[in-house]
Chain A
Amino acid sequence: EAQVTQNPRYLITVTGKKLTVTCSQNMNHEYMSWYRQDPGLGLRQIYYSMNVEVTDKGDVPEGYKVSRKEKRNFPLILESPSPNQTSLYFCASRQQGRGEQFFGPGTRLTVL
């Protein structure tokens, strides 16, 4: 089944404790991106990647890092999480040249 998977689905952590949210897609898509979704603010892009080893900032990159060492994986790293990063996070992928993005199921992160 073609899909985007994220892990973990739910995470409660404390301020300053480094964490990684994994994202993997099995559709051989070149383009991957991370979004956060907050009430009243909709979906905002954090980082995106056009292909392996090619990443760039989205609209709200502060406090986040990403890497793209393999085509299928695009982990989101929070080196020192803060409470304002409490949010619902979505990973997405799409084929280059196509507009349709496929979204993962989401990761609910709470930073205390």
Chain B
Amino acid sequence: GESVGLHLPTLSVQEGDNSIINCAYSNSASDYFIWYKQESGKGPQFIIDIRSNMDKRQGQRVTVLLNKTVKHLSLQIAATQPGDSAVYFCAEKLTGAAGNKLTFGGGTRVLVKP
């Protein structure tokens, strides 16, 4: 598969445990945030998003938390499964700026141990 990062921070998780992936974003004016999952050899895949007027949003087995005070975003994965092994990226966007460009974080590799 393709290598997306040789020096990524890595989170090792036991199958069945909950995972928490953290992200510090850069622009305090950003108003939209997304989490992407990238499996080896594939393009990033949308997981969940959140707007800046919210501090929590839940999806299927995933929850995103936003703390604007400290510019921090986290992704919680419940009951982590082997299929969750991937690199996870957060991205931020400021609506109306430069074509609504997404700025991506460096990514975190999640390894699920059976």
Contact = CB atoms under 8 A, between A and B. Distances in A.
Interface string B32-46: 101010000111111
Nearest to B33: A99
A88 B4 contact: yes
B44 to A, nearest CB: 5
B42 A42 contact: no
A88 B32 CA distance: 26
A90 B34 contact: no
Interface residues of A, number: 28
Interface residues of B, number: 27
B44 A90 contact: yes
A99 B44 contact: no
What is the predominant secondary structure among interface residues of chain A facing chain B? strand
A50 B99 CA distance: 7
A50 B34 CA distance: 20
Contacts of A41: 106
A92 B43 CA distance: 9
B43 A99 contact: no
The 6 closest A-B pairs by CB, nearest first: A103-B43, A43-B104, A39-B6, A42-B106, A103-B44, A100-B46
